Chains A and B, each alone.
Chain A
Amino acid sequence: MVEVRRKTFVVTRFDPDRDEVPKTQSYDVPVQPDWKVLDALNFIKDHIDPTLSHRWSCRMAVCGSCGMTVNGEPKLTCKDALSDYGDTVEVEPLANFPIIRDLVVELDGFMEKLERVKPWIVRAKQKAVQEGTYRQSPAELEEFKQFSECINCMLCYAACPVVANEPDFLGPAAIAIGHRYNLDSRDEGADQRNEIFRGEGTVFSCTYANECSEVCPKNVDPAAAVNQAKFTAVIDWAKRLVLPGPKEG
């Protein structure tokens, strides 16, 4: 017999057609001991209130869809055990993002920032297929592997005090992904990305609060990436200053 306990969920609701501002609504939910926060939200949606809107997909902390604020902390709700919380659980949309509806936030702003850092391998000249693959040693892979594990869940953006106040700041995940490509031995686009990193309101806006790394569910450590990116962007700028070659501007 599974022990069922009741918990109260205080959930943010916002209907753009009816509400001026977001409000909260409480739900009394019978929860099972092994449930995650997402299970309770799905229960509400399926059995109590079908109008509740929230995003989710894989249920195994891979897709990054179900990021929300749980009791004030950005969390991946499919990974966040309900047993860690008391009788009342507050679920809100991610901070720092415009709210489309209920727990669903606008992510296009992030997609625009991500595109700016060219999150792909840039080559001056592509090899022909017959020439074979680009080879990489395990040591070269190790240099960027940690940063490549980002799932774009946006928890880092929801925790970052700079994102909250500087709209131009590229933000932790976009910089971590850009830096990941800069460290990739197959890539030749570091100069282009460093120019973007040095641009207005970008990497140097980071004040190293380290909150992005604290909340990251995949241990990507975006704060490390952002601050390494500052370092390499400055080195790259200094090299351009003293060495012959094309200058910025």
Chain B
Amino acid sequence: MDRLAHPDAMRPARPDRTRMAPPRLPARFPFSGRYRAYLLFGASGIPYLLVGLLLLHSIWALGDGPGAWMAVMLAFQQPLYIAFHVLALAAVVYTAVHFFWLFPKAQPPRIGPVRPPPRALIQPMLYAVWLGTTALMAAILAGWILP
């Protein structure tokens, strides 16, 4: 049995002239074909939520003093946490690549009299800003820029 879409999907407002079979969902939605990439893009929000909770936990520990903070730092060295952070990194990279692919064509040809840069330039610009920001943050965290 096919999975059904919302019963009112694409149904006209006027009463039906004949009995109709209800609309069905796209056959490959959501796990097959290209829908998988869309689903993964949406699912990448789950690691972000967990990272956010971990961050709140870390900040809470910071408020509890150096002992609590060191305990959190030690916990983060456990293989499970490392694996989770690798997963979170993969989610970030996937989201960025997917977003940078779709973003250029979402730019209107002009906003009033102002025209955005050509689409062919927008994607390299996004990658340049992303890599530049990552390098800057890595330099700050490594202590190369700020003491």
Contact = CB atoms under 8 A, between A and B. Distances in A.
B32 interface: yes
B140 to A, nearest CB: 33
B13 A164 contact: no
Interface of A: 14, 16-17, 19, 21-22, 69, 72-74, 92, 95-100, 105-106, 108-112, 143, 157-161, 163-167, 171, 183, 207-211, 214, 221, 223-224, 227-228, 230-232, 235
Contacts of B18: 16, 100
Contact of B35 (A112, A161, A165): A161
A109 to B, nearest CB: 4
A235 B111 contact: yes
Contacts of B85: none
A17 to B, nearest CB: 8
Given A164-B5, A164-B6, A112 B21 contact: no
20 contacts: A69-B27, A95-B25, A98-B22, A106-B20, A108-B12, A109-B10, A109-B12, A143-B109, A163-B5, A163-B9, A164-B25, A208-B106, A209-B35, A210-B102, A223-B102, A228-B106, A228-B107, A230-B106, A231-B111, A235-B111
B11 A167 contact: yes
A228 B10 contact: no
| The 7 residue pairs across chains A and B that have the minimum distance between CB atoms | A227-B106, A72-B27, A108-B12, A99-B21, A167-B8, A109-B10, A164-B5
Contacts of B23: 95-99, 164
B6 to A, nearest CB: 5
Contact of B105 (A95, A100, A224): A224
Output the residue of B8, B12, B32 with the most chain A CB within 10 A: B12
A52 B108 CA distance: 44
Contacts of A73: 27-28, 33
A99 B22 CA distance: 6
A171 to B, nearest CB: 8
B42 interface: yes
A92 B20 contact: no
Contact of A92 (B13, B16, B27, B106): B27
B41 to A, nearest CB: 9
Interface residues of B, number: 39
Output the residue of B24, B105, B106, B110 with the most chain A CB within 10 A: B24
B111 to A, nearest CB: 6
Contacts of B130: none
Interface string B48-77: 000000000000000000000000000000
A72 B28 contact: yes
Contact of B38 (A21, A165, A211, A235): A211
Nearest to A154: B10
A164 B9 CA distance: 6
B10 A159 contact: no
A14 B5 contact: no
A156 B20 CA distance: 21
Contacts of B27: 69, 72-73, 92, 95
A2 B114 CA distance: 58
Nearest to B119: A224
A164 B38 CA distance: 15
A173 B69 CA distance: 54
B124 interface: no
Contacts of B13: 112
B30 to A, nearest CB: 7
B105 A164 contact: no
Contacts of B38: 161, 207, 209-211
